[in-house]
Structure 1
Amino acid sequence: MSLDDKEPLVREPTSADCDSQDTAPDIIQPGITSINTEVANQHSYNSKDGSTEYNGVVYKRRWYILIMFCLLTFTQGGIWNTWGPVTTSAKYAFGWNDGDIDLLSNWGPITFVLSTFIFTWLMDVKGLRWACVITMALVAVGSALRCITTEPVAATWLIHAGQLLNGIGGPVAMAAGPLLSNAWFPVAHRTSVTACTATANVLGIAVTFIIGPLMIRAPPSAENCTLSSINCSCFANSSCEPSKADVASDILLLMYIEAGWSIAIFLLMVVYFPSKPPTPPTASASTIRVDHNAGLVALLKNHRVWMVAVPYSVCGVYAVWTSVLGVNLEGRVSEVEAGWLGFWASVAGMIAALILARFADIFAGHLKKLLLLLLLGAIGSFVWFAVLVAGLVPSDSPGWTVMLYTSYILGGIFETGSTAFFYEIACEASFPTAEGVTTGFLTFLNNVCGLVFLFIFMIPNVDKKFMNWVLIGSTTAVVPVVILYKERYTRLDLDTQIEHKG
């Protein structure tokens, strides 16, 4: 008899299981007291009465799967953020304005909102492989479209089309991390892996803050000639006064590099990227999840999920705020310096997120406390940054640049570090709804808020100075909601009970 013919270790859950607010759903088959030896050699399950044990199997290939997924989300995030760090150069080469740059960033949340539930269904029904391969195909095709021409009118249309296709892949890049971590990794690594997948997207954004300004020459100006000597020296035949054709040529080279990279990742995923291992690593990973549509309905009725989703969605303002950093600091620092600022904030946030996630794995069950500390730290950092940018502290004051870097980098550390905690808390609250559905729901609301924020900046002649205060207000508003949230660790309790009884 094959393993697939054996009686399942868990019963089919219903949406009522997701509605339970105070106790973990009892989804373990009570009648199972023994299992075939072949199965026992791979895994065993402990029911609540201790009659059965479950010892999950972990595979070395899980690290390859994690690396490939991180490359996907790294690439998608980097291509989305291509234009913010080279705002001035892109305006010069193609005749764009701030509204064009904002719209290029806005395609991410626009298409995310439109495609979220298609991809959550795909992840839930068809699995990670289909979702990730299709996503990477969209990213690769979108990046290739931008390589066709540098003629301003045609290039503008093709670049917008490329950004649109890249944005459609956003739901998988942002929401599939917890699904992957639960499917492939043991409990002790779950939050850390979720943090890895989330910060890979941040790393992609960080790299574009550097590679764009270094590869693409800035338009002629006295400021760029003095502050962008590194940028100029990257090209043997360049000068501090490049023509529009020169800048467009630099942009095209970057487009070729990003397209080649994207196509290579796509081909690797086509060759090998399974949805899940032969045997789940944990009891919760082996649990049959609620049907996709029933899970969505259960999420909408679960007030605990809303108390996580609303704060996370409001915090979505931060992601789009960073994408228009060049506009925010225009006239205060050079494009290259703004790029380095964004880079170091992203890298610091990524490193901090990984450290905090590992800490959370070791001291499981305290995600809310850590999340509150991160949010309070972010508020203080953003207030400091806004005061500096608003000119309340003169820019010629001693240490002004150091303070600007410090405040922005600290904000990146605290805000980026909170992402994995939001995901994991929500997945715990919604179990046994599938992780991809839950995080897709969170990121959908997150992008709706980001969309509203960016649309404001597409209004002609709108004052950009208030963007920093909007960020502060939105982050502050979520703190009371997080304080009122009552933690419930359904998956964690199930897995740890099994481990202790085993």
Structure 2
Amino acid sequence: MEGEPRGEQQQHKTYKGRYYVLTVVSLMSALQNVGWFTFSPIAAEAKEWYGLTDIELTLLPAYSPICFLILTFPFTWFVQKFGLRIAGISAAWLLAIGFTIRVFVPYVPEASNWIWLMHIGHILIGYVGLPAMILPPIVSSVWFSPKERTFSTAIGVCAQSFGGAVGFLLISFLTLQYGIRTMLYVMAELSIAVAILFSIYFPSQPPTPPSISAEKDRTTFKESLFKLLRNKGFLLLVTAAGIGLGIAFGFQSVLSIILNKNTSDFDETVDLHSFNDFITSTSWLGFTMSVFSTILGQFVGFFADRFQRKFKILLCLLLFLSTVSFLWFSLSIYGYGSQNSINLFVTFCVGNVMISTSFPIFYEAVVEQTYPIAEGTSSGVLTLTLNIGTLIFSIIGIAGVFSDKYPERAKAMSWVATGASLVALLLVFLYSEDYKRLTVDDKEKDNQSESKKHFLSKKTGVAIIN
């Protein structure tokens, strides 16, 4: 196995099985995101085949942030009580049930009597959003070495963006070529395959921990909540994430209204015949954001592992770029900047990619800030605040504050997104970095270094001096 100990000096090691564990968690995360927005790219077909209303099309994806609001603390307690294995396997099978149950909804007009199955399916899919977003930093801490943690968290977190990109292509292609029912069958089969992969191999932890911090006992769940409320740095980080990331993710939901109704160039077409078709399609804009968020998120995670203790600088840089991009986008759609389709496409894309890229860095920053509180608890609160911001947008949309009938109201939300990103930047700037977990792991390095010097000194008879 990788990481076999060399003599008696190495007390911790990593296993090749960590890649399998990270892969199945990433697959679940990607697939959950596909299920979450299944009907968004094919809203017209969903209305025609199942009689779904505009409110239902908004409500189905809203079940995910609603589940976060209700179940975050029960789930984080569940993970700490029963471990990674039970939490992961149960989530994978609930996701499979959620995907499969949608297949049994008949076509209209019979669908009206069975549409509750669609809602149950999306509630289950929405619940799995919790493990999909909370498990990656836990897997990183339990299975990966300190030099791999941020990168592995980025892979797990950015898998949602990857799922969004692949899901958009898959949903659109299967629906247009074979029909919506075939698309739902394929999604159900994929979810069952992922659940089987979890069942084959998904232990709670490796035989030997990868670091000294991984083997330390975590603070009890009840005590953790009190400590989190008294941790100023943590409160600044989660508030910044809730305001900046949550509102920005919600802002994506009004993109089609802003561009399609307030400009003459954009629409939701998926067919591509020229570059202009691509650059003026809000559907392909969403796809592009997902692709670049996946790539850049992993790159930044890898960079953060190579140059540790730089989370604040990275977050400030990413939030600054998102603020500038959202500001330029807002000015442009109001006529103070170029309304060229390329300009609008690029500025909105860059703003959201920067926000998405900051997500795994926020995860690792709050874990470092709150150690030895369990990673699931601190990251769970982070995702809760983020989903509250997203849910606010969903509630406003369901209430009809902005819709196709009120494009000007949706347009005004661009200033809200700009302001939210700026506030998040200021909050991150105010927080004092604290790398408690890395400090514990660095002590192990120092001890190993001292032991090696002592061994060489005894062997050679020459004192090793720093």
> Alpha-carbon deviations, 1:294-342, whole Å to 9, x = none?
1122112212210111011112122233345444444431242322211
Alpha-carbon separation, structure 2, partners of 1:475 and 1:102? 24
Q: What amino acid is the match of 2:328?
A: W
Matched, 1:366 2:310: yes
Map of 1:68-467 to 2, 5 A cutoff?
Answer: 68-148=24-104, 149-151=106-108, 152-154=111-113, 156-217=115-176, 234=177, 250-314=179-243, 315-323=245-253, 325-331=255-261, 332-336=266-270, 337-390=281-334, 400-460=340-400, 462=402, 463-467=409-413
Alpha-carbon separation, structure 2, partners of 1:69 and 1:380? 34
Unpaired stretches in structure 1, ≥5 consecutive residues = 1-39, 45-52, 218-233, 236-249
Alpha-carbon separation, structure 2, partners of 1:252 and 1:323? 25
Alpha-carbon separation, structure 2, partners of 1:253 and 1:327? 29
> Alpha-carbon deviations, 1:407-452, whole Å to 9, x = none?
2321232111101111111001100001011101111121112111
Map of 1:449-488 to 2, 5 A cutoff?
Answer: 449-460=389-400, 462=402, 463-488=409-434
Report the equivalent of 1:22. Answer: none
Q: What amino acid is the match of 1:167?
A: G
Q: Residue 264 and residue 73 in structure 1: after superposition, are their counterparts in 2 closer, same or farther (change >3 A)?
A: same
Alpha-carbon separation, structure 1, partners of 2:58 and 2:107? 20
Query: For the Cα contact (< 8 Å) 2:254–2:410, is it kept in 1?
Result: no
Report the equivalent of 1:10. Answer: none
Report the equivalent of 2:462. Answer: none
Q: Residue 43 and residue 493 in structure 1: after superposition, are their counterparts in 2 closer, same or farther (change >3 A)?
A: farther
> Alpha-carbon deviations, 1:374-425, whole Å to 9, x = none?
0011112222333444566676xxxx23223212321232111101111111
Map of 1:35-54 to 2, 5 A cutoff?
Answer: none
Q: What count of residue pairs does the alignment treat as equivalent? A: 421
Query: For the Cα contact (< 8 Å) 1:129–1:274, is it kept in 2?
Result: yes
- RMSD of equivalent CA atoms: 2.2
Query: For the Cα contact (< 8 Å) 1:85–1:338, is it kept in 2?
Result: no
Q: What amino acid is the match of 2:65?
A: P
Bigger mean CA deviation after superposition, 401-410 or 306-315: 401-410
Bigger mean CA deviation after superposition, 471-480 or 430-439: 471-480
Q: What amino acid is the match of 1:477?
A: V
Shift of 1:267: 1.4
Report the equivalent of 2:451. Answer: none
Query: For the Cα contact (< 8 Å) 2:138–2:375, is it kept in 1?
Result: yes
Q: Residue 156 and residue 467 in structure 1: after superposition, are their counterparts in 2 closer, same or farther (change >3 A)?
A: farther
Query: For the Cα contact (< 8 Å) 1:379–1:472, is it kept in 2?
Result: yes
Report the equivalent of 2:437. Answer: 491
Normalising to structure 2: TM-score of the pair?
Answer: 0.85
Shift of 1:119: 1.4
> Alpha-carbon deviations, 1:172-198, whole Å to 9, x = none?
111111111010000111100110110
Query: For the Cα contact (< 8 Å) 2:101–2:118, is it kept in 1?
Result: yes
| Higher helix proportion | 2
Alpha-carbon separation, structure 1, partners of 2:7 and 2:84? 23
Q: What amino acid is the match of 1:122?
A: F
Query: For the Cα contact (< 8 Å) 1:86–1:326, is it kept in 2?
Result: no
**% same residue:** 32
> Alpha-carbon deviations, 1:8-58, whole Å to 9, x = none?
xxxxxxxxxxxxxxxxxxxxxxxxxxxxxxxx96997xxxxxxxx763111
Query: For the Cα contact (< 8 Å) 1:325–1:338, is it kept in 2?
Result: yes
Query: For the Cα contact (< 8 Å) 1:123–1:131, is it kept in 2?
Result: yes
Query: For the Cα contact (< 8 Å) 1:374–1:417, is it kept in 2?
Result: yes
Alpha-carbon separation, structure 1, partners of 2:410 and 2:323? 19
Bigger mean CA deviation after superposition, 153-162 or 415-424: 153-162
> Alpha-carbon deviations, 1:348-386, whole Å to 9, x = none?
011111111111111101110110000011112222333
Query: For the Cα contact (< 8 Å) 1:112–1:169, is it kept in 2?
Result: no
Query: For the Cα contact (< 8 Å) 1:177–1:194, is it kept in 2?
Result: yes
Query: For the Cα contact (< 8 Å) 2:248–2:420, is it kept in 1?
Result: no
Unpaired stretches in structure 2, ≥5 consecutive residues = 271-280, 403-408, 449-466
SS of the aligned residue for 2:203 comes to coil
Report the equivalent of 1:229. Answer: none
Alpha-carbon separation, structure 1, partners of 2:415 and 2:53? 23
Query: For the Cα contact (< 8 Å) 1:345–1:412, is it kept in 2?
Result: yes
Query: For the Cα contact (< 8 Å) 2:326–2:414, is it kept in 1?
Result: yes
Query: For the Cα contact (< 8 Å) 2:26–2:156, is it kept in 1?
Result: yes
Q: What amino acid is the match of 2:103?
A: C
Shift of 1:79: 0.8
Q: Residue 325 and residue 42 in structure 1: after superposition, are their counterparts in 2 closer, same or farther (change >3 A)?
A: farther
Query: For the Cα contact (< 8 Å) 1:349–1:416, is it kept in 2?
Result: yes
Query: For the Cα contact (< 8 Å) 2:27–2:159, is it kept in 1?
Result: yes
